[in-house]
């Protein structure tokens, strides 16, 4: 197998990274992906950095050893914040892409210069996030909201809890809208949250701009692969390349999520890493 035809590894603490995978598949339809949901060790956002870093390295080791991946996408804000630096040090030979909350584009896009940020507690408290926030001092006011329990409610597709938590957390943040004192932009700082956009809209309205990180990650992945000469070759009439799904949690949870959010009826493998 040539380097360019090897798959790209993608992992998240659970099913949330499917929002990033969706963007990757749209940007790079001829690439093969191996997606790992570490649902058996979730939620990352409510665990300490040592736990998240240990799990991130275990999954990266598995993907490199068993699937010979040519690149790795960390499709989890919490794992990026906790582990991206040590992952890059450990695996310097492959392109490695992380994700971070879209604070910079939010500050640029906001007209009221008041931006809401919903994320896990782990992401908001991380050194990486705090450095990003400090770099934007004076460019906008950021209203930070830790969303304990929301990612796991999305993981379990618990509609009643999702509705309650979205209403609770957006209500705690303050006023949304286009008035000068309101938040006109909301950053979804966890890859799970784009899947509940319709629920969030019921609380914040249709005028508020929602920003998430999947598309920028996909574009950056393409740039790095192109620069390294690792883009998969394309052939006339070739369909979208296959994606392999693996989970350390319940197989049916990931299979249902892939069907619900990606319209993929796929087999899911159990992973004992």
Paired tokens of 178: 């286009």
Total of domains in the chain: 2
Q: Based on the residue annotation, tell me whether 76 is a catalytic residue of this protein.
A: yes
Average pLDDT of every residue of the chain: 94
Q: Please, which pLDDT band fits residue 42 given cuts at 50, 70 and 90? A: confident
Q: By the 8 A CB rule, do 79 and 14 touch?
A: no
Indicate if 92 and 107 belong to the same structural domain.
no
Find the catalytic residue in 8, 20, 75, 76: 76
Residue 118 pLDDT > 70 = yes
Q: What confidence tens digit (pLDDT) does each residue in 162-196 have? A: 999 999 999 999 999 999 989 999 999 999 999 99
Indicate if 228 and 240 belong to the same structural domain.
yes
Residue 63 pLDDT > 90 = yes
Indicate if 170 and 242 belong to the same structural domain.
no
- Where a domain ends, among 165, 194, 211? 211
Residue 47 pLDDT > 90 = no
- Where a domain ends, among 166, 196, 211? 211
CATH of the domain at 93: 3.40.50.1860
pLDDT at residue 114 in the model: 97
Cα→Cα distances 185→117, 168, 180, 206, 216, Å: 9, 18, 12, 11, 17
Q: By the 8 A CB rule, do 78 and 13 touch?
A: yes
Domain range for 64: 3-99+214-270
Q: What confidence tens digit (pLDDT) does each residue in 13-33 have? A: 999 999 999 999 999 999 999
Residue 64 pLDDT > 60 = yes
Find the catalytic residue in 15, 73, 190, 257: 190
């Amino acid at each position: 197998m040539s380097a360019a035809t090897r798959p790209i590894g993608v992992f998240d603490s659970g099913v949330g990274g499917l929002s990033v995978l969706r963007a990757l598949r749209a940007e790079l339809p001829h690439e093969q992906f191996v997606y790992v949901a570490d649902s058996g060790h979730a939620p990352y956002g409510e665990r300490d950095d040592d736990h998240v870093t240990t799990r991130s390295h275990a999954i990266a080791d598995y993907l490199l050893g068993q699937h010979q991946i040519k690149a790795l996408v960390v499709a989890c804000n919490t794992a990026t914040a906790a582990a991206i630096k040590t992952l890059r040090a450990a695996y310097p030979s492959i392109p490695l892409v992380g994700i971070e909350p879209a604070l910079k584009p939010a500050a640029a896009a906001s007209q009221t210069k008041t931006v809401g940020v919903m994320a896990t507690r782990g992401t908001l408290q991380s050194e990486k996030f705090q450095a990003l926030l400090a770099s934007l001092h004076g460019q906008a006011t950021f209203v930070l909201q830790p969303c304990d329990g929301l990612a796991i409610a999305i993981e379990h597709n618990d509609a009643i809890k999702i509705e309650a938590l979205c209403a609770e957390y957006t209500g705690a943040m303050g006023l949304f809208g286009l008035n000068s004192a309101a938040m006109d932009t909301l950053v979804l700082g966890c890859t799970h949250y784009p899947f509940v956009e319709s629920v969030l809209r019921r609380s914040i309205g249709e005028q508020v701009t929602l920003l998430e990180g999947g598309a920028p990650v996909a574009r950056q992945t393409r740039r790095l692969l192109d620069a390294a000469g690792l883009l998969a070759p394309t052939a006339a009439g070739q369909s979208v390349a296959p994606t392999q799904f693996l989970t350390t949690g319940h197989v049916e949870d990931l299979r249902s999520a892939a069907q619900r959010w990606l319209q993929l009826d796929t087999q899911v493998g159990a992973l004992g890493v």
